[in-house]
Amino acid sequence: MSRTDTVTYDSPDTRNLLDHTRQGVIGKPLDRPEGPLKVSGSATYSAEWKFDDCAEGVLVLATIAQGTVQRLHKQRVLDMPGVLAVLADEAMTRRSTQGTAGEAPVQGVHTVDYFAQPIALVVAETFEQARDAALALEVDYVESKSPIALDPESPDAEVEDPDNSETVEGGDLEKAMHDAAFAIDVEYRTPGHASAAMEPHATIAQWHGDRLELHGSYQMLAYNVKEIADCLSIDPEKVRIIAPYVGGGFGSKLGITHEAVAAAIAARQLKRPVRVVMSRQQVFETVMRRSETRQRVRLASDASGKLIGLGHEALVSNLPDEEFAEPVTQATEFLYGGENRLLKVEVARISRMTAGSVRAPGEAVGMQVLEAAMDELAEAVDIDPVELRKRNLPAKVPVEGTAYSSRMLVEALDQGAEAFGWDQRRPRPCQTREGDWWIGMGMASAARVNMLVPAEARVTLKADGAALVETDQTDIGTGSYAILGQIAGEMLGLPIDRVNVVLGDTSLPAGAGSGGSFGAISTGSAVMRACEAIRTTLSEALGCDTDALDLKDGTATSGDLSQSLSDLLGGNDIVETGKIEPGKTAEDFSQASYGAFFAEVAVHAFTGETRVRRMTGAFGFGRVLNAKTARSQCLGGMVWGIGSALTEELAFDLRDGHLVNHDLAEYHVPVHADVPAIEVILLEERDAAASPLQAKGVGELGICGAAGAITNAIYNACGARLRNFPMTLDKVIPHLPDPFAEVA
């Protein structure tokens, strides 16, 4: 019997179809199909498309933080060789859009909201001409007479409740803290972070009559079309975006960015294609930052370590009137017990570039702090940190009472601990010394909310028995090409080389886009549903119930009936578009991916330098769609955890508001030498409430708590309990024990 599903996902699909299909490609660690293109340099990224007569644009950024542009001295620049135009159009954007905005961000480049905001675009025949002219452009400003604060912790900073998160309150936290056998009340800080995707933002814009075509680097094309159309006051139907390969995003390419809007305006004025590529510095300065946070964590436990109270309050920042506030307490809501609770986020209004989603907004910084505080509680209670977590897993979400869809946290803790050799850890700090290095171990839980979002995909089963999957879904390194092909291959009984996946073009059905770990499960579910419809047609042609249809290696079988797909199709293609939208399952269940991190570090007894020696992560996120690409997502997240723990920090000059470390020399992402052997354990799980695939998101899970494990390992190594990320040498040194003392 075929399931008659509505588009919305209202009840868990417990049929678990992918465990009953026969092809055997789902979940397999297959190579990425686009791999050969990428390793040979023949995958075409945004700035690499060639168009005749393409002009080059370079953005000009403000050298004040707040005020207005009084005058651009255009003429001198227009007289320079090759210069075609100096644009300061009010349709150009001065702030970034948030993910899924679907509308224009704040426009108008005469007003300056933050240091290094775009104020103009210079266009010339060549890149070198445009760059020199942009540098030469003189600008007169009028500085704001009533500037807002540059520092979120300044007494002058206006602090508000954000629109995008609600305070969670239950019971009486103050009383619980008073009554507790053990109470931890600590304040942590995390700095701002940059996405720092390897490919700088770039767009080539061209007009075909009233139709705009963009080749660019974006994560969520269907939304980006609406955003740029709104910026330009044109019909979204007139916009096409092409982005088959995107050199990383990590949140920075969720919304349409400055260079795209500027390029489109320039191309319209000059009546020729215009390319605008941001410099690395411009990407850092104008695109998006993860907010810095100040977090107060209160943990009240009984004598056994069971939480009776939990407080997590955060101060984050953004520009005035921006809706987004880093949702720091997002996972704290459901991870541990403690009915007496207060979870709250406040946002300080300051003058810095727009704050928005950087990989795992909320959990990336919220979890590492919560997990560091939990380590402090474990020490106070004097129980093993793993055991403390296991004692605090509630049956239902505290306060709200929502049921969990599935939760592999205990399995992750146990299997991770065993693989890592956690039983070798010595519970007290400063117990293990190897030469000049203190050695320690730490752990943390991982948790990240799961989201299903609207998605469509078209699947064509061609007359020759090959399949074509088409959607505007992007692959930003996430593995979309691989997993969407595997889902179609599994559902239609085709070897993977008989499935072709075409992505990243808005002339195709709108996929979910890449963000929030939702791309694979959302667009994958749409592909699955399209394939289900094809299976129904095939079963009718074969003369059997859909449930009795077996598809494998291009042959349809049911009992004694058997026919090759090409015979069954009789020269015709079958084309189906699958759709899914979130429904009641999103409200009826608390859905999240879970895991556990274990880290061993060495801290230099004299310099305070920390080296991560090894890490293990164990993760449960529903069905694994491709064990190779899922593992790589987890690995990558843990590498981000190393950066967040030890090196990454946006540094702002509080005198004039400029970002001091605006490139990859000064903002330190982990390099090869910083990353040790990392072990990843993928736990097989089925979560019917999360998606028809039984899969949950994995793209961000690997970062959510990872830095906490490293921080806890630093404490275990040398006794430095630091509450100010990143744990750089200068912060560690004052807490180091006498390097010459006898090791106890």
Partner 1 sequence: MALPMSRASVNGTDHALPADPRRTLLDWLREDLGLTGTKKGCDHGQCGACTVLVDGRRINSCLSLAQLHDGDTIETIESIGSADNLSPLQKAFVTHDGFQCGYCTPGQICSAKAMMQELSEGWASAVSDDVTAAPDITREELRERMSGNLCRCGAYSNIIAALEEVLADAASERADA
E strands in 150-216: 158-160, 168-170, 182-190, 202-208, 211-216
Q: Is the dihedral angle over the CA atoms 698, 700, 702, 708 positive or is it negative?
A: negative
Among 44, 107, 500, 577, binds partner 1 (CB under 8 A): 44
Among 628, 686, 721, 731, binds partner 1 (CB under 8 A): 628
227 belongs to the catalytic site? no
Q: How many chain residues interact with partner 1 (CB under 8 A)?
A: 62
Select 105 or 513, whichever has its Cβ closest to partner 1: 513
What is the amino acid identity at position 427? P
Q: Judged by CB under 8 A, does residue 572 bind partner 1?
A: no
Least distance CB 676 / partner 1 (angstroms) = 8
Q: Is 28 exposed, middle or buried (0-12, 13-18, 19+ CB in 10 A)?
A: middle
Tokens of 160: 């508000």
Select 303 or 677, whichever has its Cβ closest to partner 1: 677
Stretch 120-139 residues interacting with partner 1 (CB under 8 A): 126-128, 132
Q: Judged by CB under 8 A, does residue 551 bind partner 1?
A: no
What is the amino acid identity at position 605? A
Among 329, 629, 647, 711, binds partner 1 (CB under 8 A): 629
Least distance CB 30 / partner 1 (angstroms) = 10
Select 41 or 543, whichever has its Cβ closest to partner 1: 41
Q: Judged by CB under 8 A, does residue 403 bind partner 1?
A: no
Q: Judged by CB under 8 A, does residue 48 bind partner 1?
A: yes
Decide: helix, strand or coil at residue 678. strand
Question: Could you report how far apart the first and last alpha carbons of the chain are, in Å?
Answer: 69
Least distance CB 242 / partner 1 (angstroms) = 16
Least distance CB 150 / partner 1 (angstroms) = 26
Least distance CB 403 / partner 1 (angstroms) = 34
Q: Judged by CB under 8 A, does residue 305 bind partner 1?
A: no
Q: Are 151 and 654 in contact (CB under 8 A)?
A: yes
Query: How far lies 613's CA from each of 183, 271, 321, 592, in Å?
Result: 32, 56, 44, 29
Phi then psi for 238, rounded to 5 degrees? -90, 5
Tokens of 515: 């963000």
Stretch 168-207 residues interacting with partner 1 (CB under 8 A): 195-200
490, 532, 600, 700: the catalytic one is 700
Q: Judged by CB under 8 A, does residue 637 bind partner 1?
A: yes
Select 43 or 575, whichever has its Cβ closest to partner 1: 43
- Which residue's structure tokens are 């255009």? 74
Among 309, 670, 692, 708, binds partner 1 (CB under 8 A): 670
Least distance CB 504 / partner 1 (angstroms) = 13
How far is 362 from 449, CA to CA, in rounded Å? 10
Q: Judged by CB under 8 A, does residue 41 bind partner 1?
A: yes
Per-state percent for the chain, helix, strand, coil, to nearest 5: 30, 30, 45
Q: Judged by CB under 8 A, does residue 638 bind partner 1?
A: yes
Among 4, 20, 50, 424, binds partner 1 (CB under 8 A): 50
Find, among 214, 230, 215, 219, the residue nearest to 105 by Cα.
230
Q: Is 414 exposed, middle or buried (0-12, 13-18, 19+ CB in 10 A)?
A: middle
Stretch 460-489 residues interacting with partner 1 (CB under 8 A): 476-479
β-sheet with 211-216: strand ranges across: 83-87, 118-124, 55-61, 274-277, 202-208, 211-216, 239-242
Least distance CB 197 / partner 1 (angstroms) = 6
Q: Judged by CB under 8 A, does residue 271 bind partner 1?
A: no
Find, among 319, 263, 258, 323, the residue nearest to 287 by Cα.
258
How far is 46 from 53, CA to CA, in rounded Å? 17
Q: Judged by CB under 8 A, does residue 37 bind partner 1?
A: yes
Contact string (CB under 8 A) for partner 1, positions 3-32, x = contact: ----------------------------xx
How far is 93 from 305, CA to CA, in rounded Å? 51
| Cis amide bond preceding 726, omega within 30 | yes
Least distance CB 602 / partner 1 (angstroms) = 13
Select 639 or 710, whichever has its Cβ closest to partner 1: 639
Q: Are 365 and 190 in contact (CB under 8 A)?
A: yes
Among 312, 389, 425, 631, binds partner 1 (CB under 8 A): 631
Q: Judged by CB under 8 A, does residue 493 bind partner 1?
A: no
- The footprint of partner 1 (CB under 8 A) covers 31-32, 34-45, 47-48, 50, 126-128, 132, 195-200, 245-248, 250, 277, 279-280, 476-479, 628-629, 631-633, 635-640, 663-665, 669-673, 675-678
Q: Catalytic positions, please? A: 700
